[in-house]
Chains A and B, each alone.
Chain A
Amino acid sequence: MPLVKHGKITNDALVHVADDAEIPGDGAILITAARFLEDAEGLSRRAGRIGVIWPNNRDVDDLVPYLDRLAVIALVFPTFRDGRAYSQARLLRERHGFKGELRATGQVLRDQFVFMLRAGFDAFEVKKESDAEAFAATVKRYSVFYQPTGDGRLTALHRRMQLRHSESASQ
């Protein structure tokens, strides 16, 4: 499954470690939330970077105390129709200021890329190779956005306000 970051397919720097496998001493790893929370303090002292897979039916509040120690949070779309991870992503980015990589996993398809970017995701475990290749083109589909999110894009409402001000300023 190709990983897309910065608009193109890249190698995954993280090694996915199964719950029953031993955690390597160093190197970047991706582990489940349950595993991480069992020994959050200990793991935080690890040399390598840590990524956590957070289930979509659990409040992100439980992860908030550890945000500054996490390089990656992977959120889950069990099907693309289950939109809980969009709320989780926005809360992590906008309310809790998570600065690391926010990765979309699960059934990640082309037609949700724009929504995911707007919600704060910046890495995508894309299901289909063809979708991954089309990523850069797909995200250009929309140039106008009605509602504010943490992505910094100006909303249509505010662009209109700006236009009005510049109009009246030039009169």
Chain B
Amino acid sequence: MYAYDELDRTIINERVSEFRDQVKRRLSGELTEDEFKMLRLQNGVYLQLHAYMFRVAIPYGTLSTKQLRALAHVARRYDRGYGHFTTRQNIQFNWIKLAELPDALADLAEVGIHAMQTSGNNTRNVTSDQWAGVAPGEVEDPRIWSELLRQYTTLHPEFSFLPRKFKFAITASDHDRAAIKVHDIGLRLYKNAEGETGFEVLVGGGLGRTPFIGKTIKPFVHGHDLLSYVEAILRVYNQYGRRDNIYKARIKILVHELGIEKFAQEVEEEWLQMRDSALAIDDAVIEDIRSRFSYPAYEKLPHMPEELKKAAHDPHFEAWRKNSVFPHKVPGYAIVTLSLKPVGGPPGDATADQMDAIADLAEKYSFGEIRVGHEQNLALPHVARRDLPALWKALDKIGVATPNVNLVSDIIACPGLDYCSLANARSIPIAQELTRRFANHETANMIGRLHVNISGCINACGHHHVGHIGILGVEKNGEEFYQITIGGRADEQAAVGTLIGPAVPYGEVADVVEDIVEAYLALRARPEELFIDTVKRLGVEPFRERVYATR
């Protein structure tokens, strides 16, 4: 957990005052909507179908108990009692009133939470691996660097009006849980042959209308040079990114149009002129940020405590343990994923009551810390294995212990046409129906790891391009239709999925997914061959044949 100091809190409070003044001037008419819209976006305030939507930042997906309670408070006091966790580790509230936003922000500021730059044409939440700091085999905690980047990018005077939004992600593990290859800047932390910490820097990844997998612009940037190198990239983008067409304004288009070599050259030229400037990070600064991250005082605990042995006879507990509990770098501890994908429920939502209960459980069992993953689940990162049975009982009671993590019913979905003014079609009811079709845990386990992603429009907030099965809502003659892709991946082997055939109507989507799963079960070489590997081995054709045989 990063401890905000006086300086961090001052910025947040000053931002809240500024926004309060801006809202006042908007409501009095002193600011037109044209002048105000970008200002409210820079504080995470969208206009959606029914109301304003408020997107609160959860920097690199880390929350304290106190902070989660504050989010519950906002849900209750200013909204309709629930929130939605997003694919960028943030949280969204759907019914907020503009006039009350400054108060909501002030309440959040008291616990160091803000909504700065969660929207707008600026640099957004720096996301990371939700297991950062506790994953076995991690090089070092990437959140140190995420925090450095967060501070560097917050209210940056030069880069607050970029051609378009700009997203960073950082990973420090071999298995990329942060999807860095589909971000504007992706950073892979590692140590070079000399043992120095640095980053492979990728640029130009992104989804949306024109998906691209990020390309390596520089194989190793020393940690000291991270900020100056990022500044060089941003400056080239700010000056040369297209501003004539919002669909061609992301950096991925600039990289594509220039070519990665030319783009890298432009950045290098710029960087060489500023690398030894005030942006050079010295070790003292890194240590200072690191020192503000507190880590638990872990005890020396056994891997197989009595409590766990005793609980092993309970098949429900065991089903959950095998599914939702993951190895921790400290012996005797575990990382626990809390599924926010209950059968029949909207994926990624949590009620205020659930948030409060989870906050309490985090305090009791996870040193007061919670994580938010981009797959729209939560995690408790520091659970002693001896506490797993007691924790499970409590999680089950509040409905966040569905043992479907990473399985077919662990669906990632955007809010879709039920909420979002950009959507062509609904996504949540599709997700709900799929969780019902695949509610049986034995079946889901037999199918194995399978990521289903649903987006209600081409903006791809549900990351459908990189789903093992991707579902994209489109509109045909006023009806909701869905294009289905397979073979996408968001991890270190990132790939964009392939369309399997013509779009199908709303009522058939669940059937199609069932057909795809059936095809996989028939085609897989052996039970251990994952869906994604079967698609890789055989291609899309065998699936297309089976699914569209009768359509």
Say yes or no: A83 contacts B7, CB within 8 Å.
no
Say yes or no: B17 contacts A87, CB within 8 Å.
no
Say yes or no: B17 contacts A156, CB within 8 Å.
no
Bound Cα distance A116, B151 (Å):
19
Closest to A78 in B: B243
Say yes or no: B288 contacts A90, CB within 8 Å.
no
Q: Which residues of A from 127 to 164 have beta carbons under 8 Å from B?
A: 130, 141-149, 155-157, 159-161, 164
Say yes or no: B7 contacts A144, CB within 8 Å.
yes
Contact of A144 with B161 at beta-carbon distance under 8 Å, contacts A95-B273, A160-B5, A164-B288 already known: no
Say yes or no: A86 contacts B158, CB within 8 Å.
yes
Bound Cα distance A143, B279 (Å):
20
Shortest A53–chain B CB gap in Å is 18
Q: Which residues of B lie under 8 Å from residue A146 when comparing CB positions?
A: 11, 151-152, 154-156
| Binary A-proximity of B214-249 (CB < 8 A = 1, otherwise 0) | 000000000000000000000100110001000000
Bound Cα distance A53, B406 (Å):
57
Instruction: Check A82 for interface membership: any CB of B closer than 8 A.
Output: yes
Q: Which residues of B lie under 8 Å from residue A161 when comparing CB positions?
A: 284-285, 288
| Binary B-proximity of A67-109 (CB < 8 A = 1, otherwise 0) | 0000000000000111110111010000100000000000001
Say yes or no: B239 contacts A87, CB within 8 Å.
yes
Q: Which residues of A lie under 8 Å from residue B18 when comparing CB positions?
A: 111, 141-142
Instruction: Check A66 for interface membership: any CB of B closer than 8 A.
Output: no
Say yes or no: A82 contacts B243, CB within 8 Å.
yes
Shortest B550–chain A CB gap in Å is 51
| Binary A-proximity of B144-188 (CB < 8 A = 1, otherwise 0) | 000000011111111111100000000000000000000000000
Question: Of the candidates A80, A114, A119, which one forms a contact with B35 in the assembled complex, judged by CB atoms under 8 Å apart?
Answer: A80
Say yes or no: A156 contacts B235, CB within 8 Å.
no
Bound Cα distance A81, B153 (Å):
17
Q: Which residues of B lie under 8 Å from residue A83 when comparing CB positions?
A: 121, 158-162, 238
Instruction: Check B38 for interface membership: any CB of A closer than 8 A.
Output: yes
Say yes or no: B161 contacts A82, CB within 8 Å.
yes
Q: Which residues of A lie under 8 Å from residue B160 when comparing CB positions?
A: 83, 86, 115
Bound Cα distance A58, B427 (Å):
44
Say yes or no: B14 contacts A143, CB within 8 Å.
yes
Bound Cα distance A139, B302 (Å):
58
Bound Cα distance A59, B238 (Å):
12
Say yes or no: A130 contacts B158, CB within 8 Å.
no
Highest count of chain A CB atoms <10 Å: which of B7, B17, B35, B157: B157
Say yes or no: B239 contacts A84, CB within 8 Å.
yes
| Binary B-proximity of A4-33 (CB < 8 A = 1, otherwise 0) | 000000000000000000000000000000
Bound Cα distance A130, B35 (Å):
14
Question: Of the candidates A86, A88, A148, which one forms a contact with B278 in the assembled complex, judged by CB atoms under 8 Å apart?
Answer: A148
Question: Of the candidates A130, A142, A148, which one forms a contact with B155 in the assembled complex, judged by CB atoms under 8 Å apart?
Answer: A142
Contact of A109 with B158 at beta-carbon distance under 8 Å, contacts A87-B239, A164-B288 already known: no
Bound Cα distance A163, B10 (Å):
16
Question: Of the candidates A116, A130, A156, A164, which one forms a contact with B157 in the assembled complex, judged by CB atoms under 8 Å apart?
Answer: A116
Closest to B273 in A: A95
Instruction: Check B197 for interface membership: any CB of A closer than 8 A.
Output: no
Closest to A164 in B: B288
Q: Which residues of A lie under 8 Å from residue B196 when comparing CB positions?
A: none
Instruction: Check B39 for interface membership: any CB of A closer than 8 A.
Output: yes
Bound Cα distance A22, B445 (Å):
82
Bound Cα distance A114, B39 (Å):
14
Q: Which residues of B from 100 to 124 have beta carbons under 8 Å from A?
A: 121
Contact of A87 with B152 at beta-carbon distance under 8 Å, contacts A82-B161, A95-B273, A119-B157 already known: no
Instruction: Check B22 for interface membership: any CB of A closer than 8 A.
Output: yes
| Given A84-B238, A84-B239, A144-B14, 16 new contacts (CB under 8 A) | A80-B35, A80-B38, A81-B161, A83-B160, A83-B162, A86-B158, A87-B238, A109-B35, A111-B18, A111-B22, A141-B14, A144-B7, A146-B155, A147-B151, A147-B279, A160-B5
Interface of B with A (CB < 8 Å)? 5, 7-8, 10-11, 14, 17-18, 22, 30, 35, 38-39, 121, 151-162, 235, 238-239, 243, 273-274, 277-279, 284-285, 288
Interface of A with B (CB < 8 Å)? 59, 80-84, 86-88, 90, 95, 109, 111, 114-116, 118-119, 130, 141-149, 155-157, 159-161, 164
Question: What are the 4 A-B residue pairs with the smallest beta carbon separation, nearest first?
Answer: A83-B161, A118-B157, A148-B278, A115-B157
Q: What are 25 A-B residue pairs whose CB atoms fall within 8 Å in the complex?
A: A59-B239, A81-B38, A81-B121, A83-B160, A83-B238, A84-B239, A86-B157, A86-B158, A86-B161, A87-B235, A88-B239, A109-B35, A115-B158, A144-B10, A147-B151, A147-B156, A148-B279, A149-B157, A155-B278, A156-B8, A156-B151, A157-B151, A157-B285, A160-B7, A161-B288
